[in-house]
């Protein structure tokens, strides 16, 4: 899963490292400017002018704030990506039964067949299936594709737990041939 994450965002690790370095650098600069501010406010001999010290503090605080914002944004994007990849990996563990009766995990079809899975209420799955059948002719002549028909779907709000059978389409099964899959 980490390799897929790196492939999708190859420069994220570099951005995270450099953002961290820039935050530390701006923080050190800010801490160095605080005694300078105290000296300028106390009218110490050889102290920097107050305006120069305030500019330095502003630049350091702005840089630290910007790079913190960039770092947090990258971390949030990484977490969202890892959650999505985790969901995809858990979906790939679902078992399917091919039209010839052979049972496989969806992950075993990766690289040889394009699998599209629809989930939702009975009406949503039916509408998606009907809409997708129009695209099948375009995709099937270019590459192998699998028609996935859900055997069950959950109706109603989350957690309702009622399962209803989704009617299959014999025409869709026939077009997919030996690659038609049925979810358990």
Spatial separation of the C-alpha atoms in residues 82 and 63, rounded to whole Å: 28
Residue (of 163, 164, 139) closest to 172 by Cα position? 139
Residue 62's pLDDT band (boundaries 50, 70, 90)?
Answer: very high
Strands 95-98 and 114-116: unpaired
% residues pLDDT > 70 (the chain): 72
pLDDT score of 76: 95
Q: Greater confidence, 139 or 17? A: 17
> Rounded to the nearest 10 degrees, what angle do helices 12-41 and 50-91 cross at?
160
Residue 36 pLDDT greater than 90, yes or no: yes
125 compared with 73, residue with greater pLDDT? 73
Whether the pLDDT of residue 168 is over 70: the answer is no
Mean pLDDT of the region 115-130? 78
* pTM score of the predicted model: 0.58
Q: pLDDT over 90 for what percent of the chain?
A: 36
């Amino acid at each position: 899963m980490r390799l897929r994450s790196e492939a999708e965002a190859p420069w994220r690790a570099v951005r995270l490292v450099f953002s961290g370095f820039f935050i530390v650098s701006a923080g050190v600069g800010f801490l160095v400017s605080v005694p300078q501010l105290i000296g300028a406010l106390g009218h110490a001999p050889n102290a920097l002018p107050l305006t120069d010290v305030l500019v330095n503090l502003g630049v350091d605080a702005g840089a630290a704030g910007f790079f913190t914002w960039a770092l947090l944004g990258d971390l949030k994007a990484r977490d969202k990506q890892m959650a999505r990849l985790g969901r995809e990996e858990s979906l790939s563990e679902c078992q399917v039964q091919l039209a010839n009766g052979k049972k496989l995990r969806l992950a075993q079809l990766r690289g040889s067949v394009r699998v599209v899975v629809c989930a939702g209420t009975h009406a949503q799955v039916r509408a998606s299936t009907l809409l997708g059948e129009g695209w099948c002719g375009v995709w099937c002549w270019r590459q192998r594709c699998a028609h996935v028909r859900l055997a069950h779907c959950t109706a109603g709000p989350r957690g309702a737990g009622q399962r209803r059978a989704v009617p299959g389409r014999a025409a869709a099964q026939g077009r997919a041939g030996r690659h038609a899959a049925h979810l358990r």
